[in-house]
Amino acid sequence: MSKLFQNYKRAAIEFVKAQGNYLFDADGKKYLDFSTGIGVTNLGFHPQVKKALEAQAERIWHSPNLYQNSLQEEVAEKLIGNRDYLAFFCNSGAEANEAAIKIARKATGKQEIITFKDSFHGRTFGSMSATGQDKIKEGFGEGVPHFHYAVFNDLDSVKKLVNAQTAAVMLELVQGESGVLPAKQDFVTALVDYCQENDLLLIIDEVQTGMGRTGKLYSFEHYGIEPDIFTLAKGLANGVPVGAMLAKAQLGSAFGPGSHGSTFGGNKLAMAASSAVLDIMTQAGFLEQAWENGNYLQDQLKKALANNLKVTQVRGLGYMIGIETTANLADLVQAARDKGLIVLTAGTNVIRLLPPLTLTKEELDQGLTILKEVFA
């Protein structure tokens, strides 16, 4: 009898070892990982990240935010580059989104925030209230007020919700949890213009789409925009718990001393791993290769599944891919596991692929072969 809450539906597999892009279970079976721990180990189990963690653990692994932290400064500089942002570090995507909500309200003096139906921003009360899915909120009573939900890719639905107390619009550029649904370029461009014209802050949730997942460091780079606020987590430290909220420097006064904090946020281990991750991802050609490989995987899947009557669409951006299907998702996931491939689901009818950015051509083709067999 388990002593754990049963809030997770766990498969009867325990991974006890990892090497590169492969996982090994307690029986020694080897699996190619096309899930990256739900978009976390974006670099696989990379030796450079392991080395950075080991080296930092030899020195010091925790120091409170009452003192200077040069590693936080180092990671912030790598994340920001030549953009004009400031960074706050926490421990998860939900915490990063909480920080984004708080700074948007405090900086504007307004409370209303528009998010989107079918969005997912986390499971704390603030981030859950921002989430546009009723099933996430069932049984928890009243959420945080002043959130309103527009229709994704529909600017008119946003305009209908804006009033004098609207502080910000918050969105994912690819809705991951609801089915891997990319935002349309014309919608994003028009939304940015509308926000600027009406003095609304634009918050981009990059928790799943960031850190190279879509073939660029941030998915907003694909759309040629620069949000007022954006959030990161998942792949930032490649498996070490971390989150980050970045906001335009002009909003900095809203987060003065005592306004917000985190005991563990930006700890030395997480920052050492994050710094190593960014060093790898910003190497010349790395993200370009990931973009090329992600497109190759998506194109090959479209060709292979074009005549499959149980596949309605293959879609995505970079290495974030959804296969919409009428087949039973649980059966497909189990069939893939049986053949040594780990995949995810999203929404009610989508197989979600979040492979490592470090896949070799041979590993890509291995995964493709298994997916073809599973869907056949």
Consult the annotation and say whether 208 binds a ligand: yes
Q: How far apart are CA 328 and CA 237, in angstroms?
A: 34
Consult the annotation and say whether 105 binds a ligand: no
Consult the annotation and say whether 262 binds a ligand: yes
DSSP secondary structure letter of residue 250:
G
Q: How far apart are CA 113 and CA 235, in angstroms?
A: 26
Residue 45 has phi, psi (to 5 degrees) of: -95, 85
Radius of gyration of the chain (CA): 20
Strands (E) across 250-364 are located at 311-317, 320-325, 341-342, 344-346, 350-353
Nearest to 126 by CA among 78, 94, 169: 94
Consult the annotation and say whether 93 binds a ligand: yes
- Return the SS3 of 31: strand
Query: Do the Cβ atoms of 230 and 243 come closer than 8 Å?
Result: no
The residue with tokens 């570090």 is 89
Consult the annotation and say whether 123 binds a ligand: yes
Q: How far apart are CA 276 and CA 35, in angstroms?
A: 21
Burial of 274 (0-12, 13-18, 19+ CB in 10 A): buried
| Binding-site entries for N(2)-acetyl-L-ornithine | 123, 262
Q: Cite the annotated binding site by residue number.
A: 93-94, 120, 123, 205-208, 262-263
Binding residues for pyridoxal 5'-phosphate: 93-94, 120, 205-208, 263
